[in-house]
Amino acid sequence: MNRGAPKPEGPGIMKSLQNQRGLSLLGFIFILVLVLFFTYIGIKLVPIYLNHMSVMSEVKAVASQPGSANKPPNTIRRELLRRMSVSYIDHVEPQHITIERADQVRIVVKYDVQQHLIGNIDAIVRFNSAEPLRN
């Protein structure tokens, strides 16, 4: 008595089962190209985010100084730009830094970074971060 699935008979059926297993060469190349593309994008964009983390580290250092909320805006901006210059941060210009005096005084850093990718394709990363100043 035959219990279970029927066995394929003939050489044509076995051959078609062998062709359906695994990843084809075209599929492998497609996946490889996709992985390489996203790796390339990551290599281009990760340094921008690391640079922004350095910017925010300098902003927090200036904002956490005692009495920084009472300093004139130009003094705060000049000190922040000096610290960024020492840290080799070159994406932030003086016009990107504003000091807002609403319910609390805070440093706002708003800037864009344009990174060339391929041919005539660029990526633009926009940052808008703020840090309250300490009294």
- For 67-129, what is the HEC assignment? CHHHCCHHHHHHHHHHHHHHCCCCCCCHHHEEEEECCCEEEEEEEEEEEEEECCEEEEEEEEE
Cα 43 from chain centre: 10
pLDDT at 9 (0 to 100): 63
CB 118 within 8 A of CB 107: no
The answer to whether the CB of 128 falls within 8 A of the CB of 108 is: yes
* Number of neighbours of residue 26 by Cβ within 10 angstroms: 8
pTM: 0.75
What is the 8-class DSSP label of residue 66? T
For 7-48, the pLDDT digits (tens) are: 666 555 656 655 566 778 898 999 999 999 999 999 999 999
Q: What percent of the chain has pLDDT over 90?
A: 64
Average pLDDT over residues 67-81: 90
Distance set, CA 41 to CA 1, 8, 116, 119 (Å): 61, 48, 10, 14
Candidate from 12-21, 63-72, 89-98 with smallest mean pLDDT: 12-21
pLDDT, mean of residues 109-133: 95
Confidence of residue 98 (pLDDT cuts 50, 70, 90): very high
pLDDT category of residue 91 using cuts at 50, 70 and 90? confident
